[in-house]
Structure 1
Amino acid sequence: MFKDKKTQADGNICLTAEKNNTEMILRAIEAMRTRVKTEAPLIHCITNPISIHDCANVVLAAGGRPMMAEHPAEVAEITVTAGALALNLGNITDARRESILIAEKAAMAEGIPVILDMVGIGCSAFRRAVVMKFLEQKIPGKPLILKGNMSELKALAGESGGVSGVDVRPEDMLSESNQSEGVRLAKDVARTYGAVVLASGKTDLVTDGERVFLVDNGSEMMGRITGTGCMLNVLTGTYLSAAEPLLAAAAACVILGISGEIGAENCQGTGSFQVMFQDALFSVDEKDIRGRIRLREI
């Protein structure tokens, strides 16, 4: 539990156990960001070529050092030197499938925290099979975040139907009418696999199976450029090198969302938004976070 900038035994910063203590959460986020910028951890990202450039820049903007190695012959060796491992199923290939599973084994053996972005598992039996193999290899008690939109979480839980592409189905988007069902699903997935779940969307949901945080930060412009979900994945991975999974996921949703808000206020279109978004992520400070954070625990 995070109290007065103390950390748990493995050195990672944690959230306080006290519900709705916004000040403690803000202090934990700032301590985590400071640690990343001070230590500049290596973040091993196995991601897709569509967003790889932006993902590397997100890690750099947050203070980490990205490495985007994906050859099966080297990923285990590289993973064991990293502070965290960020994996992504987008645009999956045979080589990347093999590398994801090899890197996961190496990370689990060394206790290196892992985040898996389950892109497209609702529309592809092949990707679902990769995720199930990944989960078979998980070692109980090792830090893991499972990321996906609500349609992808439903696919993992066997509740999916009629998903087309990698976007969330409109009826699956978290809203007041389906919030309780979405929370139940996310908590069930977290408990089943011993992981923190990050369900991304207009409202992001983060849970470890017990505590639940909702984050309302963000801008509709984030949905008009490609790869913002992938960027959230690697930003979470960067923070995962310095904080417990629950804090890393919630903080990444807040900070990426705030950066999107700031970028949207200063852009003229999607091209300038992408630049302003990256600028905001690099320069966002404690004052911005305190003034804009929209995180609530339910």
Structure 2
Amino acid sequence: MKDLEEIIKTRRNISENLIHCITHKIAVENSVNAVLLLGAKAICAENPMEVSDITKASKALSLSLGNITEERLKSIFISSKTATENNIPQILDLVGIAISNYRLDAATKLLRENKFEVIKGNASEIKKLSGKESNTNGIDVGEKDKLDINNLDEYVKISRDLSKKYDTTVLITGATDVITKDERTILVENGNNYLTLLTGTGCILSSMIAAFLSEFSGVDACILALLIMEISAELAKDERIYTFKTKLFDTMSTISDEELLKNAKVRIYR
């Protein structure tokens, strides 16, 4: 990880970079808008006949297994292979692999065949990918799996093992976000519970990470995306959920470097 101030002050280096996002219909509009707010450009092609060309023209690729269809999964494999062959950084969002063996098998095959800069999931999904028993609640983390002070060491070990296995950065999202590359782990402790009350926020975050992957390492891209989304959520908090959503996007579009540095809760895990 670079110096936090340096990372934040260079976040606009992604300006105008084209980001290819293959995500589900529920999250497409908000994901694209989030990328635009960061200064990059997004395209959400998912036709298998064109995704390779579009991925080649892009600076980064975001792939989500959420609400998966057969055709979209085919496109995901094509795009991921193209990205790997052309050294285009990509992130895989492991949505639902803890409840669906179909998605788990797809994720395992994707990771085996391609190179990902980041793999992202909640604690239940990361446990499932590691081969451990998980207690998911649909696509959400199960109560028994939630990351806290008592099981943090366990999740750090799981993330480090997966990072080494797939040569990637592993992001476990939650009240505390865990970012791991090899033996290095960084914790981000910003955010508020309102983000869990809106659908698609995980896919929005993945698209934001992909935007930053176009210029930053996996670790730095995760830190930037998390801080912008989660500090914006803290500043935008409103008792009315859809008013909060509007404020969240407004704040993400205007948040300053100074606000990010002042409010960032980032620490290196011992």
The reply to whether TM is greater than 0.5 is yes
Q: Partner residue of 1:172? A: 145
Contact 1:190-1:208 within 8 A present in 2 as well: yes
CA gap of 1:204–1:161, structure 2 versus 1, over 3 A, is closer
Task: Report matched runs for 1:144-163 at 5 Å.
Answer: 144-163=117-136
**Alpha-carbon distance between aligned partners in 1 of 2:94 and 2:262, rounded to the nearest angstrom:** 32
Q: Partner residue of 1:285? A: 256
For residues 115-168 of structure 1, the C-alpha deviation after alignment (integer angstroms, 9 at most, x for no partner) is 0000000000100111111012114xxx52000001100110110244331000
Question: Equivalent residue of 1:207, what SS?
Answer: strand
CA positional deviation for 1:30? 1.8
**Alpha-carbon distance between aligned partners in 1 of 2:169 and 2:252, rounded to the nearest angstrom:** 24
Q: Partner residue of 1:34? A: 12
Question: Equivalent residue of 1:168, what SS?
Answer: coil
Q: Does 1:98 align with 2:98?
A: no
Aligned with residue 136 of structure 1, among 104, 109, 112:
112
**Alpha-carbon distance between aligned partners in 2 of 1:247 and 1:281, rounded to the nearest angstrom:** 18
* Structure 1 residue ranges, 4+ long, deviating more than 2 angstroms after superposition: 160-164
Aligned with residue 116 of structure 1, among 79, 82, 92:
92
Q: Partner residue of 2:27? A: 51
**Alpha-carbon distance between aligned partners in 1 of 2:222 and 2:134, rounded to the nearest angstrom:** 27
Question: Equivalent residue of 2:96, what SS?
Answer: coil
Question: Equivalent residue of 1:198, what SS?
Answer: strand
**Alpha-carbon distance between aligned partners in 2 of 1:268 and 1:178, rounded to the nearest angstrom:** 31
CA positional deviation for 1:263? 1.3
**Alpha-carbon distance between aligned partners in 1 of 2:149 and 2:135, rounded to the nearest angstrom:** 23
Contact 1:145-1:245 within 8 A present in 2 as well: yes
Q: Does 1:258 align with 2:236?
A: no
**Alpha-carbon distance between aligned partners in 2 of 1:71 and 1:26, rounded to the nearest angstrom:** 40
**Alpha-carbon distance between aligned partners in 2 of 1:28 and 1:136, rounded to the nearest angstrom:** 31
CA gap of 1:269–1:211, structure 2 versus 1, over 3 A, is same
| TM-score, reference length from structure 2 | 0.97
Question: Equivalent residue of 1:187, what SS?
Answer: helix
CA positional deviation for 1:29? 2.5
Q: Does 1:245 align with 2:218?
A: yes
Unaligned runs of 5+ in 2: none
Q: Partner residue of 1:217? A: 190
Question: Equivalent residue of 2:224, what SS?
Answer: helix
Counterpart residue identity of residue 149, structure 1: N
Counterpart residue identity of residue 26, structure 1: E
Aligned with residue 202 of structure 1, among 175, 181, 190:
175
Q: Partner residue of 1:21? A: none
Unaligned runs of 5+ in 1: 1-14, 17-23
Contact 1:88-1:119 within 8 A present in 2 as well: yes
Question: Equivalent residue of 2:91, what SS?
Answer: strand
**Alpha-carbon distance between aligned partners in 2 of 1:288 and 1:25, rounded to the nearest angstrom:** 13
For residues 65-121 of structure 1, the C-alpha deviation after alignment (integer angstroms, 9 at most, x for no partner) is 010000111000000110100000000000011000000000000000000000000
Contact 2:24-2:68 within 8 A present in 1 as well: yes
**Alpha-carbon distance between aligned partners in 2 of 1:177 and 1:240, rounded to the nearest angstrom:** 32
Contact 1:29-1:247 within 8 A present in 2 as well: no
For residues 208-242 of structure 1, the C-alpha deviation after alignment (integer angstroms, 9 at most, x for no partner) is 12211100110111111111111110110000001
Aligned with residue 227 of structure 1, among 170, 180, 200:
200
Question: Equivalent residue of 2:186, what SS?
Answer: strand
**Alpha-carbon distance between aligned partners in 2 of 1:198 and 1:47, rounded to the nearest angstrom:** 18
